[in-house]
Structure 1
Amino acid sequence: MKLVPQLVAIAVIVAIATPLAARFVPGTRPWLDQAGLLDPLTALGVVPADVAVGSAASQGGSRPGGAAQVIAAEAERRVLSNMIDAIGSARGVQSVNLSFGVTGRLTALHVAPGQPVAAGDVVAELDAEGARLAVERAGLVLADAQRTIDRLSQLAQSGTTTSMQRQDAELALRTADLGLQSAQRDLEDHRLTAPIAGYVGLIEPQIGDLVTPTTTITRIEDRSNLIVDFRVPERIAAQVAPGAVVRATPISTPGHAIAGQVIAVDNRVDESSRTLRVQARIANTDDLLRAGMAFRITMEFTGAEVPAVSPLAIQWGNDGAFVWIVRAMKASRMPIRILQRNADAVLIEADLQAGDLVVTEGVQALRPGAEVSLAPPRS
């Protein structure tokens, strides 16, 4: 007996909700039209006649026994593009840490941090008094060895020298010559010169400090061009090659994009991250960029030409995405695979044939094999 009041209550709710939905929820009108309730409600004045007709046409609805009205068009053909974004870190095209080759006390600094230098410019000097004395001593030894050779050469004319004396004198001369070269090299090591052109970094040691070959005096960086290291997914590893164009945007200045070029690609994919290391070169003509800055790297790869449809055409079911197509003026449901989403279109993989029309509006009233009529596109 309790069931009867419940059924009565449900019937009352449906009787009240149906006219309200028909009048204030336009999306319910196609279903009410299919159920045969829209015309009685229109006759009772619940739904204005012109609104009911317009709703049925715009939603693709149809009167029983008639064709569903839809808006459809042929799919465009667009080139599939694969956009890759990565974050990379920059370094100078050349850089070197400078340190002396010998131990000594720092006596002079000829550069300042941030100053540009050319290759061969003297950067710093050590106390070289002992090295200069060693050069003079080696020079005296060499001169004495040379005089010995000259004296033996004069005596050889009278036959008063032996070949052994001559060999010993020549050995002493060569040894003295090597000693002089070694002393001169040691003296040169007391002067630190720039091996490359670039900009001087910070200088930690001060004049008077005792420095060793392990003491870094400064760092010189050539930032006329920057090398940006970044990583790309392994799925595009075969598409990345030297010469590929990149667009580098400093994280600090998002609106400043710079064109660059890939110069090197690693020979293996990193197993832990499944990425491939790539290096690109970008110009720093105005010297506004610095080594160590972070860049957003964008690379674009173009692929095959594929169908492109309106985002409104994409529908979803239990088995994935699909679109409704019109073929021979009958509706057909076609499964698709979405390849790329753009702002105005979705690029898909589908078995579309020439002349197939993809439905963008009116999909609610479609069933497989249903007859359709085409409405003009909205202006």
Structure 2
Amino acid sequence: MRVWKQLLISLGVISAGVLLWGRFVPGANDMLEAAGLPDTLVAAIAPAGDGRAEGGKPENGQGGGRRGSFGGGPALVSTKPVAMAIVNDRLNAIGDGEAIRTVTVTPYSTGNLTDVLVQSGERVEQGQVIARLDSDEQKIAADQARVSRESAEQKLKRVENLRSSMSLADLQDAQTALKAAELALQNAELALRRRDITAPYGGVVGIISVNPGDYVTTSSAIARIDDRSEILVDYWVPERFATSVRVGGEVTATAVARPGETFTGTVQAIDNRIDQESRTLRVRAQIANPEDLLRAGMSFQVTMRFAGDLYPSVDPLSVQWSTDGSYIWRVKGEKVERVPVHIVQRNPDKVLVKADLAEGDQIVTEGLQTLRPGGAVRTAEQQTPAVTEGS
């Protein structure tokens, strides 16, 4: 067989295959349009509807159950209305709790412990003595300073009584000596007081790990005191909430150790920068604890509510894709139009999109394969009784 005959046969087979593909493959017209072919050529190769029902025969003279909008009757589709949904209206995060004030009490000086006056878990008040160091040396120093002061005071009185025979320099020396003695006494009394180890503020004492007789230094931990009248909870929020969180904003928290109980508080502080590794922002909430139900170190489930962003919500079946991105078909009157959409959030039962849609717009969910922009459609509710019985 000559070459030119083989080429003609091959061209005929390819043409027939293309026509069959365009007639029977759903969405062939969209693919040809995306390829940039003219509408007339697309209509010739892959018409949106061929006017035949399943099996290739006309159905009661009305055409098939699925028709395209180019040529033939209107396409039969199912629709669902657009709803509106809110996203970014709630934030859930895990946080760690700390007492509003925590201090590790250490001595002002070194020495041996003579008394430990509190027990682990005991509540103390501000200024309460919790332990004492040996103070014999400091007591003697204080007594000596007190005697020196009394001596300086008596000397000043004698000088004042003999002022007529004493020089001004002697009077000033006596006054200076008295002031120095008073300062020495104050210093000795301060050193004596500092042998008592006191609580800087009220709170609950943690586990005490020292005992009477232990030698301690200024770096030795005597006790840890937590003021848990309020609990601070540190948690991290995603970057997208950074502009929504405000100091003073309300938060609710649930402690893992106390399920079913909800505690309320406010945002006390917000960090000044986003963590670049986790892309999160550190936030600190303050929760009142008047009944002392919460402990430092607890983990919390923190919830915050915001106004949120309102987006159209469509059925997941309605979203289609092409080379230009995602889109949906909207029924307007008796025809359909193609509306490009940007997917914001995908859920099992709905998809939130950013698009030019209004609440209540009818969106095609079934019968999508044969639709074209401007094509005529009819919904299942508009189907005639004859077609319903035939189908």
Same fold by TM-score greater than 0.5? yes
Distance in 2, matches of 1:364 and 1:254, equals 51
Alignment partner of 1:351: what SS?
coil
Name the counterpart of 2:244: 239
> Is residue 138 from structure 1 mapped to residue 145 from structure 2 by the alignment?
yes
- Aligned counterpart for 2:334 among listed residues 329, 349, 356: 329
Could you give the per-residue CA deviations for residues 227-275 of structure 1, whole angstroms, max 9, x where no partner exists? Answer: 1112223333222220122233334556544333111112233344433
> Is residue 205 from structure 1 mapped to residue 210 from structure 2 by the alignment?
yes
- Aligned counterpart for 1:38 among listed residues 16, 38, 54: 54
**Given that residues 203 and 217 in structure 1 are in contact (C-alpha distance below 8 angstroms), is that contact kept between their aligned partners in structure 2?**
yes
TM-score (norm 1): 0.78
- Classify 1:199/1:316 alpha carbon distance in 2 versus 1 (closer, same or farther; 3 Å): farther
- TM-superposed deviation, 1:290: 1.8
**Given that residues 204 and 225 in structure 2 are in contact (C-alpha distance below 8 angstroms), is that contact kept between their aligned partners in structure 1?**
yes
Could you give the per-residue CA deviations for residues 42-66 of structure 1, whole angstroms, max 9, x where no partner exists? Answer: 99xxxxxxxxx9xx97xxx349833
> Is residue 297 from structure 1 mapped to residue 302 from structure 2 by the alignment?
yes
Name the counterpart of 1:30: none
- Aligned counterpart for 1:124 among listed residues 118, 131, 150: 131
- TM-superposed deviation, 1:200: 0.5
Identity %: 40
Q: Which piece of structure 1 moves more, 318-327 or 190-199? A: 318-327
Alignment partner of 1:152: what SS?
helix
Which aligned pairs between 1:366-377 and structure 2 lie closer than 5 A?
366-376=371-381
Alignment partner of 1:226: what SS?
strand
Which aligned pairs between 1:37-116 and structure 2 lie closer than 5 A?
38-39=54-55, 61-62=66-67, 65-116=72-123
Which aligned pairs between 1:271-310 and structure 2 lie closer than 5 A?
271-310=276-315
- Aligned counterpart for 1:160 among listed residues 149, 157, 165: 165
Task: Note the aligned Cα RMSD (angstroms).
Answer: 3.6
Distance in 2, matches of 1:71 and 1:365, equals 13
Alignment partner of 1:174: what SS?
helix
Distance in 1, matches of 2:180 and 2:51, equals 114
**Given that residues 94 and 221 in structure 1 are in contact (C-alpha distance below 8 angstroms), is that contact kept between their aligned partners in structure 2?**
yes
- TM-superposed deviation, 1:180: 0.9
Q: Which piece of structure 1 moves more, 121-130 or 233-242? A: 233-242
Distance in 1, matches of 2:57 and 2:378, equals 25
Which aligned pairs between 1:358-373 and structure 2 lie closer than 5 A?
358-373=363-378
Name the counterpart of 2:18: none
Alignment partner of 2:162: what SS?
helix
- Classify 1:127/1:354 alpha carbon distance in 2 versus 1 (closer, same or farther; 3 Å): closer
- Aligned counterpart for 2:228 among listed residues 223, 241, 250: 223
Name the counterpart of 2:263: 258
Segments of structure 1 that go 5 or more residues without pairing to the other structure are 1-32, 44-52
- TM-superposed deviation, 1:190: 1.0
- Classify 1:320/1:286 alpha carbon distance in 2 versus 1 (closer, same or farther; 3 Å): farther
- TM-superposed deviation, 1:36: 4.6
Segments of structure 2 that go 5 or more residues without pairing to the other structure are 1-48, 383-391
Alignment partner of 2:91: what SS?
strand
**Given that residues 80 and 302 in structure 1 are in contact (C-alpha distance below 8 angstroms), is that contact kept between their aligned partners in structure 2?**
no
Could you give the per-residue CA deviations for residues 164-208 of structure 1, whole angstroms, max 9, x where no partner exists? Answer: 111111111111111111111111111111111211111111110
**Given that residues 98 and 216 in structure 1 are in contact (C-alpha distance below 8 angstroms), is that contact kept between their aligned partners in structure 2?**
yes
**Given that residues 92 and 227 in structure 1 are in contact (C-alpha distance below 8 angstroms), is that contact kept between their aligned partners in structure 2?**
yes
**Given that residues 51 and 67 in structure 2 are in contact (C-alpha distance below 8 angstroms), is that contact kept between their aligned partners in structure 1?**
no
Tell me which amino acid in the other structure corresponds to 1:167: Q
- Aligned counterpart for 1:147 among listed residues 154, 179, 188: 154
- Classify 1:354/1:191 alpha carbon distance in 2 versus 1 (closer, same or farther; 3 Å): closer
- TM-superposed deviation, 1:142: 0.6
